[in-house]
Amino acid sequence: LFYYLAAPLALVGSSTANSILMGLSVLLWPLLLLGCHALGAELADSKQRHRTGLLCAAIAGLLPGLFNYSRVLVLDLTLAITVCWSTALLLRSLRSPGSPGIPGATALLTMAAGLAIKVNALAFLAGPLWIAGSAALSKAAAGQPRRQPLRFIAIFMGALLLTGWLLLGSRGAAILETARDSTWPGKLIGYASQGSLGQYANHYLSFVRSQSWEVLYYSTLQSFTPLWLAAVIVACAAYFVRPVEAQHKKVERQRQKLVFSALAIPLFGVIFVLRDIYDERYLIPLLPLCAALTARASLAIAHARCRVFIISLGLLAGSLNFNVISFNVLPELRPLACTTAAGWAPKARVGDRLW
């Protein structure tokens, strides 16, 4: 899909990479920011939906990780857009239990587009889809015990159809090869065939230790920078520990589970499942959700003056941070914005600093 968008731009105008990237950015960047607005609005309290959406879009636009990949011919920004819209629509289906059909069906179409772009979409959306789909099927079967088995049959058939589409389609051979050669469960077969199962546990634990540091280093410090990383950590903690109103408790708990699965499953996958193919851009689709959580936490500050001060300070500091990294404004501040932790990453990969 990404390359189908790029092809007309190359035919109509110049076929150079810079021209294609500029055209794609004009098409894709507004879709990303609109998706961030929708996602922020869905995570917000009912009285703050529009403001949270606007603040989420502003924060997402200032994240160096997202902007960086709008200037590179890779699929990850397009994937981030579909994941963002799908997550927002699935959250809406939970927020509107009386009529989840339209947002749920639209989410499925958006997820199909994401899978057509990159099969990695499954890691970001399988958990949210399971939670939203289970909630919808449970409501449909409520009060009709005979229909309860239909819930499991529907989920099983959906999973079976998706598996068949992925494995029997044009990318099936590549997916199976990646699963066999580039994941630890797949390599277990190789260790067994070589008679070296006794070494598997030691190799795996050693890898997980180094991989967890690398994921923390590249996907947090590089994608967010220290400024936004601190804000995201506080925002995530605030979202999951906040008190929930009794009248909306069930729905809000479902929404928390959906957000948690959207964050945790991809992180678990790159740390504990993938082997030797990790790149920091693999977690780029998480950035809009992190921006939405940050916007929600900022607008949830009770004291009005304190809230305005923190939001204003965050946007001003974020703008400076963005320009220092992306456009080398005030280069003397670059070491501060690109802080590194000594010994966390091999110099052969990034040198002695990020970006």
Paired with 274 in beta bridges are 183
Structure tokens at 97: 């239990």
Q: Look at residues 326, 294, 243 and name the one whose alpha carbon lies nearest to residue 52.
A: 294
Q: Who's near 216: CB < 8 A, 6+ residues apart?
A: 344
Task: Say if residues 116 and 148 touch (Cβ distance below 8 Å).
Answer: no
CA separation for the pair 90, 111 (Å, rounded): 10
Q: Look at residues 103, 164, 155 and name the one whose alpha carbon lies nearest to residue 133.
A: 155
What single-letter amino acid sits at 14? S
CA separation for the pair 321, 337 (Å, rounded): 6
CA distances for 121 relative to 40, 86, 277, 344, angstroms: 20, 10, 16, 28
- Taking only the tens of pLDDT, the chain with its 355 residues reads 555 565 565 556 555 555 566 666 677 888 899 999 999 999 988 788 999 999 999 999 998 888 888 777 778 888 999 999 999 999 998 876 555 567 777 888 888 888 888 888 888 988 898 888 888 777 666 655 555 556 556 656 666 676 666 666 666 777 777 777 778 888 888 888 787 888 888 888 888 887 777 777 766 777 787 788 889 999 999 999 877 665 677 888 888 999 999 999 998 988 888 887 667 788 889 999 999 999 999 999 989 999 999 999 999 999 998 888 888 888 777 777 666 555 545 544 444 455 5
Phi and psi at residue 274, to the nearest 5°: -65, 150
- DSSP type of residue 222: I
CA separation for the pair 337, 350 (Å, rounded): 15
Residue 352 confidence (pLDDT)? 46
CA separation for the pair 297, 126 (Å, rounded): 26
CA separation for the pair 329, 149 (Å, rounded): 61
Q: Is the pTM of this model over 0.85?
A: no
Residue 49 confidence (pLDDT)? 92
State whether residue 183 is helix, strand or coil.
strand
Which residue matches tokens 């600093």? 353
Residue 7 confidence (pLDDT)? 57
